[in-house]
Structure 1
Amino acid sequence: MDEPAYHASRRTINPSPCVFERAILADCAQCELARRHALAEREVVACSLEVARINCTTLESLFRERATFALRLPRPGVPLVHAKAMQLQCGGLRGLQAAVAAPTTDVHAMVKRAQLNDASLLDLPWEQIVSSIVAWQTRRRAPPPDS
């Protein structure tokens, strides 16, 4: 399947993509509201609750806003390279888990817990979360086996 056809099908099949799809597919997190679908030998993740998707969009925007300087991210509107997007999502969710003392990496549960504790995502301990974002590293590839 060619890329333009894939992306057109993706928008049709998955009109509400999960904001943290990359983190979920990389097993950095999970979400009770995530619904996985197979599409052209790939996997996509959809969000089953629009209010939760809005909360996650806000959270991801805050991750990017607060970590822009520390990660030297491009200006808003410019897409991130995959490694930076993974660092932002996985590191941010790890920092959120520590900040709200969540027992699991369930994104929806952590967001609900953060809103209960602080009433607003803006009031989270962002210094701690940004430190976690900066510290997160992708998994290193294994060296090639010697022949």
Structure 2
Amino acid sequence: MVDEAAFHASRVRLNPTPCVFSKALLAGCASCSLSQRHALAEREVVACTLPVAHINCGTLRDLFYERATFVLRLPRPATEIPHQTAMKLSCGGLHGLQTALAAPNTDVHAMMQLAHSRFDSLLDLPWQTIVEHIGAWQIRRRAPAGRKPHVR
């Protein structure tokens, strides 16, 4: 068993720019050409390789939170949110961004470049579409143990 305090101290030291959307990348909801995966204490962490992209993604994540506050009944930003809500924001937000931009894939960096080329600011994105996807996104349920998932 790994000491959690030691793990978190090592994670901060070894991964100074953690990917803002690491949960989405690890869940397979998105990809990023700037991400770099590392194994740390039997876990996988994702780093961002470009500081400017890290800042841009942080801004986008904050806008997802701000714009979806009403739909998801989110607490004040300083409050930690549950994992499922974080996944709705990341996966739903990135899926909504892909839809709104008609982006060919889920590469976060490519979508950010596309958004910056089409809009003056991230504030000008089609937020209604993005927020609809955030609200509609559902976490995948695991199949019960011993049963195979139903395939149509």
Which TM bucket (shorter chain)? over 0.9
- Helix, strand or coil at the partner of 2:145: coil
Q: Normalising to structure 1: TM-score of the pair? A: 0.97
Q: CA deviation at 1:143?
A: 2.2
Note the residue ranges of structure 1 that are not aligned, 5 or more in a row.
Answer: none
Does residue 111 of structure 1 match 2:109? no
Q: CA deviation at 1:39?
A: 0.1
Does residue 72 of structure 1 match 2:73? yes
- Helix, strand or coil at the partner of 1:38: strand
* Percent of residue pairs bearing the same amino acid type: 64
Q: CA deviation at 1:145?
A: 3.0
- Helix, strand or coil at the partner of 1:44: strand
Aligned pair count reads: 146
Note the residue ranges of structure 2 that are not aligned, 5 or more in a row.
Answer: 148-152
- Helix, strand or coil at the partner of 1:17: coil
Runs of 4+ more than 2 Å apart:
143-146
Distance 1:27 1:143 in 2: 21
Does residue 57 of structure 1 match 2:58? yes
1:68-107 equivalences in 2 (<5 Å): 68-107=69-108
Let me know the Cα RMSD of the aligned residues: 0.8
Distance 1:137 1:6 in 2: 30
Q: Normalising to structure 2: TM-score of the pair? A: 0.94
